[in-house]
Amino acid sequence: MEARLNPFASQTMSKFLKHLIAANKVIVDSTLPFATQEMVKLRASQINGCGYCVDMHFKDAVHAGEEATRLNLVAAWREATVFTDAERAALELAEQGTRLADAAGGVTDEAWANAVKYYDEEQLAALVSLIAIINAFNRGNVITRMPAGGYRPGQHA
């Protein structure tokens, strides 16, 4: 499978991606735990059907020392016993923030209140920003049909 468009060959898309990557750096440098960041990216990517991002975030997380078992269970986090309450709150917020069209009210007050229990204001800001950014990356990759499987950890660093 080949991508419909090479994002790095397109002047417009290349500039756009540089801005998204710069915005993502702010989140990477935040106090939001790295494992939480990768799990949120992975879950949103699973929901959006972005194989490229599922591949990338699984491999980057494993490379950084995250357990493959936990990553494999992100899709079934509600039934899994390997996540902290804080991680569960972040995954719930990520799911609701990704599935906005599925719920007339958007993110529920309950999901937000649960996240507030575990994250301070700056971490919440990072979490909201992260959910927005990964959804943007997912949409670009799905639209252009970026192929999955060939990503190497740190490839876009």
Per-residue pLDDT of 55-85, as tens digits, reads 999 999 999 999 999 999 999 999 999 999 9
pTM above 0.85, yes or no: yes
Q: Which domains does the chain have, with CATH numbers?
A: 33-144 (1.20.1290.10)
Q: What is the DSSP string of 127-143?
A: HHHHHHHHHHHHHHHHH
Burial class (CB in 10 A: 0-12, 13-18, 19+), 36: buried
**Residue 67: both structure tokens together:** 């357990």
**What is the model's pLDDT at position 7?**
81
pLDDT at 156 over 90: no
**What is the model's pLDDT at position 96?**
96
**What is the model's pLDDT at position 5?**
87
**C-alpha dihedral over 131, 10, 58, 113, to 10 degrees?**
0
Residue entry with tokens 């990557």: 21
